[in-house]
């Protein structure tokens, strides 16, 4: 059944689900393995509905039975149950926290039971669990259960073994979730990732020089290693400082950022952004070399590469401050072009808008003259995102730029008003910045013109600005 027709049927099915779900849960214990595995799959399609009900009604019984099926004697059933459980984890998120001990006991027991193919699905279920419950996993008893079998597998697998991929992906999620809880394991994991990157680069170099003598490397090793390093930087924050100091990761990153394969560049820019947040003193000496490469990759032909490069530039702005000045001309024209392109994906628009705002926050004199060229798409891109730190820094940048070049916003002021109204509760000093700009504009045009102008506002926008800012 296609996804679309399934979703179409779903609406009509809802009324039957309170009776159907318990029946399907019973089918998980059927004598026939085929019935058990199909019941797993079918139940996974209704995970969203199950989670929307009170947990004792269906979530708890479904979870309990699925966990039993994860330890089923039949491999096909194990596979179906493990996949279904991963889907349930994605939907349930922190609803699973009360049952973590029970869940981990089952998943860890499965490690001893599973053969090669199903182990890969088990890694996915563990990684998804970490993504879903986040820092709630950072408890000594959970770490004691989960980490020994993962590290045992890690030690068993050779650097050339493709089974490392799913394990590295799984560990990346676990490291991000455990945060400081991952510290005891971080050194060997970090070193091995650096080694994997180094080996792959060396093999690529030999292959490019003597293709008849050497095989082309599998660059997926490097990609997953870079992603796990990102997970470590994000999870450990400042604790990663010592590891970076004792390795040549910045030199390797310089090479990876120039790789011909877009996925390698995508992962390198993500790591650059995470290292910028975690330990900028190690990144700063490389900025002069890195910025031209980042500028070259602001090419929307490769959406994910462009997205990560844009995000990394924004993070670098926040650390560099006024020292970003020499690099504005390298990146700003590309960013302005991207934000004005038709059919640019939403995430890229949002990241581009945030980075333009951050660039304007640290270098307002350089960016503000271009305000008129990006203010409208900037406002429409950011009106729909939730209040957060990135949005905060971007809006501060816009306010500072409006201070430098108020004329740049005049024609599109209604869009600015709408974007300001999208804030639920800005910090007090940011609210003051909004207040000053709105009242400054109103005073500038005079009461009568303001009345005419605000007549164009949708009623909800008018009410919100009046209630929050008294205009």
Q: Which of 80, 106, 137 is the last residue of a domain?
A: 137
- Whether 417 is in a domain gets the answer yes
Which residues in 209-234 are b (16+ Cβ under 10 Å) and which e? eeeeeeeebebbbbbbbbbbbbbbbb
Structural domain harbouring 422? 322-470
- The whole model's pTM is what? 0.90
How high is the pLDDT of residue 116?
86
Chain position carrying tokens 């991000």: 176
Q: How many Å apart are CA 231 and CA 243, to the nearest integer?
A: 14
Instruction: Judge whether 272 lies within some domain.
Output: no
**How far is the CA of 181 from the CAs of 107, 132, 339, 439, in angstroms?**
19, 17, 40, 49
- Residue 282, domain member (yes or no): no
411 within some domain? yes
Q: What is the mean pLDDT of each run of 10 residues along the chain (471 residues)?
A: 52 82 94 97 94 90 96 96 96 95 96 90 97 97 96 92 92 95 95 97 96 94 96 95 97 98 98 98 98 97 97 98 97 98 95 98 98 98 93 98 96 96 95 96 92 92 94 90
- Taken as a whole, the chain contains a residue count of 471
Q: Number of structural domains, the chain?
A: 2
Query: Per the domain annotation, does 27 fall within a domain?
Result: yes
* Residue 303, in any domain of the structure: no
State the number of CA atoms in the 13 A half-sphere of 10 facing the CB. 17
Kindly report the number of other CB atoms within 10 A of residue 236's CB atom: 24
pLDDT at 16: 86
Here the tokens at position 29 are: 């214990």
Boundary-marking domain end, from 85, 111, 137: 137
Tell me the CATH number at 369.
Answer: 1.25.10
Residue ending a domain, among 137, 162, 177, is 137
Q: What pLDDT is recorded for position 10? A: 65
Cβ burial of 252 (10 Å; 0-12, 13-18, 19+) is buried
Domain membership of residue 332 (yes or no) is: yes
Task: Give domain status of residue 291, yes or no.
Answer: no
Task: Tell me the CATH number at 53.
Answer: 1.25.10.10
Q: What DSSP assignment string belongs to 212-266?
A: TTSPPP-THHHHHHHHHHHHHHHHHGGGGHHHHHTS-HHHHHHHHTT-SSHHHHH
């Amino acid at each position: 059944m296609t996804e679309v027709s399934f979703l179409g049927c779903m609406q009509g099915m809802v009324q039957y689900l309170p009776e159907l779900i318990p029946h399907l849960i019973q089918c998980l214990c059927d004598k026939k393995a085929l019935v058990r595995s199909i019941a797993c799959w079918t139940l996974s399609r209704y995970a969203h509905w199950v989670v929307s009900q009170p947990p004792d009604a269906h979530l708890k019984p479904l979870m309990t039975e699925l966990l039993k099926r994860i330890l089923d004697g039949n491999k096909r059933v194990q596979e179906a149950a493990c996949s279904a459980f991963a889907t349930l984890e994605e939907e349930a998120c922190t609803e699973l926290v009360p049952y973590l001990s029970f869940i981990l006991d089952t998943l860890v027991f499965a490690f001893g039971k599973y053969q090669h193919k199903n182990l890969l699905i088990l890694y996915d279920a563990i990684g998804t669990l970490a993504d879903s419950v986040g820092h709630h996993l950072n408890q000594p008893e959970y770490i004691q259960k989960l980490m020994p079998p993962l590290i045992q597998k890690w030690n068993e697998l050779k650097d050339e073994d493709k089974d490392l991929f799913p394990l590295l992906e799984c560990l990346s999620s676990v490291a991000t979730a455990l945060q400081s809880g991952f510290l005891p394991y971080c050194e060997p994991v970090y070193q091995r990732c650096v080694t994997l990157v180094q080996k792959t680069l060396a093999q690529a170099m030999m292959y490019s020089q003597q293709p008849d003598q050497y095989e082309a490397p599998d660059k997926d090793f490097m990609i997953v290693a870079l992603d796990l390093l990102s997970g470590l930087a994000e999870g450990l924050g400042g604790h990663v400082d010592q590891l970076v100091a004792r390795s040549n990761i910045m030199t390797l990153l310089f090479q990876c950022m120039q790789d011909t394969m877009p996925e390698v560049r995508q992962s390198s820019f993500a790591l650059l952004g995470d290292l910028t947040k975690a330990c900028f003193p190690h990144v700063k000496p490389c900025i002069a070399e890195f910025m031209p490469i980042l500028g070259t990759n602001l090419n929307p032909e490769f959406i994910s590469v462009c997205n990560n490069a844009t995000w990394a530039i924004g993070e670098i702005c926040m650390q560099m401050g006024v020292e970003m000045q020499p690099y504005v001309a390298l990146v700003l024209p590309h960013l302005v072009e991207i934000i004005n392109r038709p059919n640019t994906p939403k995430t890229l628009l949002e990241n581009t808008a945030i980075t333009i705002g951050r660039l304007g926050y640290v270098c307002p004199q350089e960016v503000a003259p271009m305000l008129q060229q990006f203010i409208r798409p900037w406002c429409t891109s950011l009106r729909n995102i939730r209040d957060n730190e990135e949005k905060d820094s971007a809006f501060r940048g816009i306010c500072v730029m409006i201070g430098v070049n108020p004329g740049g916003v005049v024609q599109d002021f209604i869009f600015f008003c709408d974007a300001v109204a999208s804030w639920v509760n800005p910090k007090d000093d940011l609210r003051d910045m909004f207040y000053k700009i709105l009242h400054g504009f109103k005073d500038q045009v005079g009461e009568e013109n303001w009345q005419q102008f605000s007549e164009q506002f949708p009623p909800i926008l008018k009410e919100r600005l009046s209630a929050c800012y008294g205009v």
